[in-house]
Amino acid sequence: MKKFSHHFFFITCLFLIILSGTAMATENLYDIAYQTCVYAYPLVLTKATQLSQNMPDNHFGHFRKLPSPSNRDIVRPNRDTMYSIAWLNLNKGPILLTVPETLDRYYLVQIMDMWTDTFAGPSSRTIGPKGGQFLIVGPNWDGQLPETTLPEIIELTNDYRLIKSPTNQVWIMVRIEAGSEAEYPIVQKIQDGYQLEQIGIPKDQSSQTLSSPRKDPRFLKITQAIEKGAATPPQVVEKMDAATFFETFTELMIENPPHIQDWPIVALMSQIGIIPGKVLHFESLDENAQDALNQAVQDALKDIHVQTPIPFQDNWRFLPMFTGSYGANYMFRAAIAFTGLGANLPEDAVYPVTNLDYNSEILDGSKNYVVHFEKDQIPPTYAFWSLTVYDSEIYLIENPIHRYNLTSRQNVMKFNPDGSLDIYLQNSSPGAEFESNWLPIPSDEPFSITLRIYWPKREVLEGIWKLPKVCPR
């Protein structure tokens, strides 16, 4: 009887394995292709963004001024911080990042892998105002440094200042609190303090090897699409055929491998010939697979574009958690990449947005509004908060007083006797008494507002804090 039981158990297990294998083998090719496209989208879009910016590897590029209404290159531009951007290539070894002292000025060094996950972030919140140095290494780093490496750099490998990247290519986005135009020289000096150094290569030699990323022949099709017209990176990806999209994706995975939690999707992708570390040749696929990939790209990109990943809360679109680090939530990651590539961790900043008033009606420039904060509704932050108005195309609005936002640190706003705060949204002045709290809006067209909270306190992240009401006046 015991022997029979063993045989029965073995046959049952074998039967289940065969069933499982059959189910996997008959998995719909289209479904796998669709899931793969959603999974791949942020990686392909990030590469298109890098090629669009056309910055040499391992060097910072600085934006020296705040955006104005004449700037139309990005929607919903930020008037609170000045940016510095860098793209790292860790294939040749570790990169030393120097973060300068910023005194009490808010800053964030967001370090992202090519899948758009934020994996490190020296900032006012994490390391304080004194800055420091960090050694960034790739996923295949063997722990060895050149013999000429200075002792103080070697010491970085022994504590939190060693940053291990999941991918060999890295995107760094630095934000520094800007204030007014009068503070430009201060902020620009801080920007100049951000440095990147390839360990083992002298600085003078490093500067001689600058080259355009668009010279990389592997991504010639993307470069040609960018240089042919003024298309944005999302538009470049949207116009890709299936062959370009999936071949680009597999090329990128060679240097930017999947995350460890991605193994289920990696197993699925192998059924349509997509394997990490191996470049796909689309024409080598059979006709059924090609048809599935062609249709999946069209449908997946369309679905990504219409996703609304940020839910409504009190008529504001607000998501206090989950951005910047996505796990296996691939559709959410793709939708965030499309709506705002490079979203940061909510612990560093959150950006509630609305185009609706308290009555759920569209904000209209022909009307007057007041944004009312009760005393206990003033945005809780360890840094500062701001409110910015945008026109119907989500750009800044030209106005006679050249005021595009109000911030808690830069503007002296008058509070009401009970400690509450009113901000007046209207096209003309609300009068001298209220002008310090006035934010001009466009005349006779819809508009929207963004409330940015930098280094928010716990009650914001946990959803305890309540967003203000936007009421017709």
Domain of 356: which CATH number?
A: 2.60.120.600
Query: Is the pLDDT assigned to residue 262 strictly greater than 90?
Result: yes
Does residue 168 form part of some domain? yes
**42 plus 79 within the same structural domain:** no
Q: Which of 160, 181, 211 is the last residue of a domain?
A: 211
Instruction: Please tell me whether residues 206 and 269 are part of one structural domain.
Output: no
pLDDT at 21 over 60: no
| Domain's final residue, options 211, 241, 267 | 211
Rounded mean pLDDT, 198-227:
76
Q: What is the mean pLDDT of residues 29-52?
A: 95
Judged against a pLDDT cut of 70, whether residue 238 lies above it is answered with: yes
pLDDT (average), residues 147-164:
90
Q: 10 lies in a domain?
A: no
Model pTM greater than 0.85? yes
pLDDT at position 217 is 83
| Cα 179 to Cα 409: distance, rounded to the nearest angstrom | 8
Whether the per-residue pLDDT at 427 is higher than 50: the answer is yes
- Are 83 and 114 part of one and the same domain? yes
Whether 19 is covered by a domain: the verdict is no
| pLDDT surpassing 60 at residue 12 | no
Looking at the fold, whether 71 and 202 belong to one and the same domain comes out as yes
Q: How much is the pLDDT for 24?
A: 39
Q: Name the more confident of 5 and 261.
A: 261
Q: What is the mean pLDDT of the chain?
A: 88
Percent of the chain's residues with pLDDT above 90: 66
Provide the pLDDT for residue 11.
37
Which of 398, 399, 434 has the alpha carbon at shortest distance from 414? 434
Higher pLDDT, 463 or 85: 85
- What mean pLDDT is predicted for residues 237-254? 94
Residue 6 resides in a domain: no
CATH of the domain at 94: 2.60.40.1610
Average pLDDT over every residue of 382-407: 93
Three-state secondary structure string covering the chain:
CHHHHHHHHHHHHHHHHHHHHHHHHCCCHHHHHHHHHHHHHHHHHHHHHHHHHCCCCCCCEECCCCCCCCCCCCCCCCCCEEEEEEEEEHHHCCEEEEECCCCCCCEEEEEEECCCCEEECCECCCCCCCCEEEEEECCCCCCCCCCCCCHHHHHHHHCCCEEECCCCEEEEEEEEECCCHHHHHHHHHHHHCCEEEECCCCHHHHHHCCCCHHHCHHHHHHHHHHHHCCCCHHHHHHCCCHHHHHHHHHHHHHHCCCCHHHHHHHHHHHHHCCCCCCCCCHHHCCHHHHHHHHHHHHHHHHHHHHCCCCCEECCEECCCCCCCCCCCCHHHHHHHHHHHCCCCCCCCEECCEECECCCCCECECCCCEEEEECHHHCCCECCCEEEEEECCCCCCCCCCCCCCEEECCCCCCCECCCCCEEEEEECCCCCHHHHHHEEECCCCCECEEEEEEECECHHHHCCCCCCCEEEEC
CA distance 213 to 113: 17
Question: 80 and 184 in one domain?
Answer: yes
Rounded to whole angstroms, how far apart are CA atoms 455 and 12? 56
46 and 128 in a common domain: no
Residue 408 lies in a domain: yes
Examine the fold and report which residue of 169, 184, 211 is the final residue of a domain before the chain moves on. 211
Tell me: pLDDT of 39 over 50.
yes
Q: How many domains does the chain have?
A: 3
Q: Per-residue confidence at 302, pLDDT binned at 50, 70, 90? A: very high
Q: Are residues 66 and 199 in the same domain?
A: yes
Q: Which of 214-223, 331-340, 372-381 has the lowest mean pLDDT?
A: 214-223
Region for 256 from its dihedrals, namely left if φ exceeds 0, alpha if ψ lies in -120 to 50, beta otherwise: beta
Token pair 């920007």 is found at 191
If you average pLDDT over each of 21-25, 132-136, 391-395, which comes out highest?
132-136
Tell me the per-residue pLDDT of 304-362, one tens digit each, with 9 for 90 and over: 998 877 777 889 988 767 788 899 999 999 998 988 888 899 999 999 999 999 999 99
Give the pLDDT band (50/70/90) at residue 206: low
Give me the pLDDT at residue 404, please. Answer: 93
Q: Which residue has the higher pLDDT, 73 or 277?
A: 277
Q: What is the CATH number of the domain that holds 265?
A: 1.10.3360
pLDDT in the model for residue 204: 59
Q: Is residue 367 part of a domain?
A: yes
67, 396 Cβ separation under 8 angstroms: yes
In a domain, 416, yes or no: yes
What is the extent of the structural domain holding 452? 330-472
Decide if 300 is inside a domain.
Answer: yes
